Amino acid sequence: MTNQPYLRTFVTPAALCALAFVVAMAAVLQYSVRAYIPGSLEPGGLTLANFTALLKPLYARVFLDTVWICFLTAFCTLIVGYPLAYALVNVRNPIAKSIVLITVVTPLFLGEVVRTYSWIIVLGNNGFINSVLLKLGVIEQPIQFMFTTFGVVIALVHVTMPVMVIMLAAALAHIDRDYQKAAESLGAGPVRAFLTVTLPLSMPGIIAGVTTAFAWTFSAFATPQLIGGGRVNMVSNLVYQLGFASFNFPFAASLCVAGLALTLVVLSALRLAARPLEKIGPH
Amino acid sequence: MKRLLIAFFALALGFPAQAQDKLVVSIWGGSWRDLVAETVAKKFTQETGVPVEFITGGTIDRLNKAKLTKDNPESDITFTTSHVGWLYANDGLFEKLDLAKIPNAKNLADEARISPFHLGSWAYIYTIGYRADLLKGVKFESWNDLWNPALKGKLAAPDFDPSHIIVVSAILSGGDAAHWEKGQDKLKALKPNFKAFYTNDANSQQLLATGETPVQVVLSMNAYYMIGQGVPITVVIPKEGGVLGVDTVAIMKGSKKAELGYKFINALYDPVVQAEIAKLKKGSPAVLNAKLDPEIAKLPGVFTTAAQWKKQINIDAKLRAEKTAEWRKWFAENIMN
């Protein structure tokens, strides 16, 4: 400590912030075990009824749907984001590089709500995609994108894309290009060199990106709320619908606690599953 | 130096100023704030010389903030919906009103006298709004017409408050708000017709404007706004009546400017101010003596007589405050999922 005289100055604000988070979490926890009193803002006595109410099939289904949507979003974001990240790192032409960078980063400058409203215009029955397909005669009736899991995942992929690409690009930038050149000089074609050298070496970025995209999507609210239209629900939507919109804060708190527990379980499982892959990555 | 720093941080953190020279009004943002600013606040300031400052936010944010600042409220006046007003009142956040200090309140419609703590400021209905251009040959004379199989996958309703359609279903099944269970099966039969549930006014507008849901259980004022924007919506009041909604005004308990608050509320009930509100928002005045433009007065959901108010479906606000969570939960479990 004596060697770092400014450490306390820097650590104190962080410790205070952490304390505030802990207190907030404790408040949520204590609300989750309090009874809801109809017509009152004050919660009642201690109860586990909020948690037993979560055992209904509806809630189990929403929790499972949430995990499934997070998985789909993370996977699709990886598939779409990897080529973009690869191009961002490997393209030599500065104009092309700038175009890729702008394409990737611009969504970060728009709020989630704005981006989601844009997707409503694109995905609606009279939206861009359906209008084009109808005019080209590819379809006779509009395809239902809105209020479906598919539509929600498309919009969530767009929302999550910048984070995934940035994390993948960081991992790809750290790979020594000589490895790929060495593979090619030993007779491997570009595809084989990529699959056997670059892809495994970028595994830490893939794992970090997928994990972050998963956790990022888990807390999504505006996108499933607006694109899902109440037909596709995630945990955060349930918290809003059943807790806040009806002033049942204890039940909302129990949903939050259950959601948090589920996130921890799923992320731990993801980490365990990714452990063998992590060993491939380091170089 | 220390004091200067404390003052600087207090300002930077936005601690509420204890200024005595203004009346602070808590209200929703956007057009609601503008509505009050252009009508009531203008008249109040003309009469008293006291400016009005607004703090804005969503219904729940403001309720939570009010709870956290109990006895030392951030605002002197609060606008909120009638049933949420009961949550404020039950928690002791509203001042009990002395109607002798609000002479204009004598003209209030009975349905706008919500409680001893909060009174109606204007009214509207949740009713049927539809795109006649997209629903050829469909008519809505009764709420029952929403159950028409031709409307399969075409209907939207608010996700934040299912009380309207729950009570309508109960009434159609011989029940009422207090005996809403009677309408459960009826409402379940409407499930195939629901396509989506909208989150807010903007979402409702977008779904109607794009034709995604050509028929909605819609807020009358919101429908008129869309009509003003060129969306061809037809608003009808079913023969059973629209579901009455009343936004309310109250003085916060602990306000140091309660007397000015009474003057503000009295200005709100000025018949000219009420007529202006009706004109700007196409909502109903809360008083019966406002002289409305005939074009406004004839709109569904704008009431000028006591008989018109009484013809609507009026859910008791206190009951609604108590039942909202139960209704919302049942709706989510049985209709939305």
d(CA A170, nearest CA chain B) in Å = 37
The verdict on a CB contact (< 8 Å) between A147 and B196 is yes
Note the pLDDT of residue A281: 57
Q: What is the mean pLDDT of residues B104-129?
A: 98
Note the pLDDT of residue A274: 82
Least confident window among A44-48, A177-181, B38-42, B297-301: A177-181
Note the pLDDT of residue B313: 98
Flag whether residue B62 sits within 8 Å of chain A, measured between CB atoms. Answer: no
Note the pLDDT of residue A188: 87
Flag whether residue B252 sits within 8 Å of chain A, measured between CB atoms. Answer: no
> Which chain A residues have a beta carbon less than 8 Å from that of B197?
229-231
pLDDT band at B19 (very low <50, low <70, confident <90, very high): very low
pLDDT band at B8 (very low <50, low <70, confident <90, very high): very low
Flag whether residue A57 sits within 8 Å of chain B, measured between CB atoms. Answer: no
The verdict on a CB contact (< 8 Å) between B199 and A226 is yes
Tell me how crowded residue B234 is: count the other CB atoms within 10 A of its CB. 17
Note the pLDDT of residue B12: 45
- In total, the C-beta contacts within 8 angstroms joining chain A to chain B are 97
Alpha-carbon gap, residue A164 to B156, rounded angstroms:
35
Flag whether residue B211 sits within 8 Å of chain A, measured between CB atoms. Answer: yes
pLDDT band at B114 (very low <50, low <70, confident <90, very high): very high
Q: What is the pLDDT of residues B149-187, one digit of tens each?
A: 999 999 999 988 899 999 999 999 999 999 999 999 999
Query: Is residue B4 predicted with pLDDT exceeding 50?
Result: no
Q: What is the pLDDT of residues B274-327, one digit of tens each?
A: 999 999 999 999 999 999 999 999 999 999 999 999 999 999 999 999 999 899
Q: What is the model's pTM?
A: 0.82
Task: Among B328, B330, B334, B335, pick the best mutation site for testing chain A contact (most A Cβ within 10 A).
Answer: B328
Note the pLDDT of residue B226: 93
Residues 205-264 of A with CB under 8 A from B: 225-226, 229-231, 233, 238, 241-242, 244-248, 251
Residues 304-333 of B with CB under 8 A from A: 318, 321-329, 332-333
> Which chain A residues have a beta carbon less than 8 Å from that of B67?
41
SS (H, E, C) chain A: CCCCCCHHHHHHHHHHHHHHHHHHHHHHHHHHCECCCCCCCCCCCECCHHHHHCCCHHHHHHHHHHHHHHHHHHHHHHHHHHHHHHHHHHCCCHHHHHHHHHHHHHHHHCCHHHHHHHHHHHHCCCCHHHHHHHHCCCCCCCCCCCCCHHHHHHHHHHHHHHHHHHHHHHHHHCCCHHHHHHHHHCCCCHHHHHHHHHHHHCHHHHHHHHHHHHHHHHCCCHHHHHHHCCCCCCHHHHHHHHHHCCCCHHHHHHHHHHHHHHHHHHHHHHHHHHHHHHCCCCC
Candidates A39, A41, A230; nearest CB to B336: A230
Note the pLDDT of residue B37: 97
Tell me how crowded residue B127 is: count the other CB atoms within 10 A of its CB. 27
Higher-pLDDT residue of A11 and A79 is: A79
The verdict on a CB contact (< 8 Å) between B328 and A117 is no
Q: What is the pLDDT of residues A191-241, one digit of tens each?
A: 899 999 999 999 999 999 999 999 989 989 999 999 999 889 999 998 888
Query: Is residue B20 predicted with pLDDT exceeding 70?
Result: no
- Rg from Cα positions in chain A: 23
Candidates B161, B211, B328; nearest CB to A125: B211
Q: What is the mean pLDDT of residues A132-145?
A: 92
Which amino acid, A228? G
> Which chain B residues have a beta carbon less than 8 Å from that of A56?
333
d(CA A220, nearest CA chain B) in Å = 15
Candidates B161, B203, B324; nearest CB to A226: B203
Note the pLDDT of residue A42: 85
Flag whether residue B253 sits within 8 Å of chain A, measured between CB atoms. Answer: no
Higher-pLDDT residue of B296 and A92 is: B296
Flag whether residue B86 sits within 8 Å of chain A, measured between CB atoms. Answer: yes
Q: What is the pLDDT of residues B38-90, one digit of tens each?
A: 999 999 999 999 999 999 998 888 998 999 899 899 999 999 999 999 999 99
Query: Is residue A154 predicted with pLDDT exceeding 80?
Result: yes
Q: What is the mean pLDDT of residues A94-102?
A: 90
Flag whether residue A50 sits within 8 Å of chain B, measured between CB atoms. Answer: no
The verdict on a CB contact (< 8 Å) between B67 and A41 is yes
Q: What is the mean pLDDT of residues A236-258?
A: 87
Q: What is the mean pLDDT of chain A?
A: 90
Query: Is residue B9 predicted with pLDDT exceeding 90?
Result: no
Note the pLDDT of residue B110: 97
Q: What is the mean pLDDT of residues B96-111?
A: 98
Show the tokens assigned to B184.
């459960």
Q: What is the mean pLDDT of residues A49-59?
A: 90
Query: Is residue A283 predicted with pLDDT exceeding 60?
Result: no
Query: Is residue B14 predicted with pLDDT exceeding 60?
Result: no
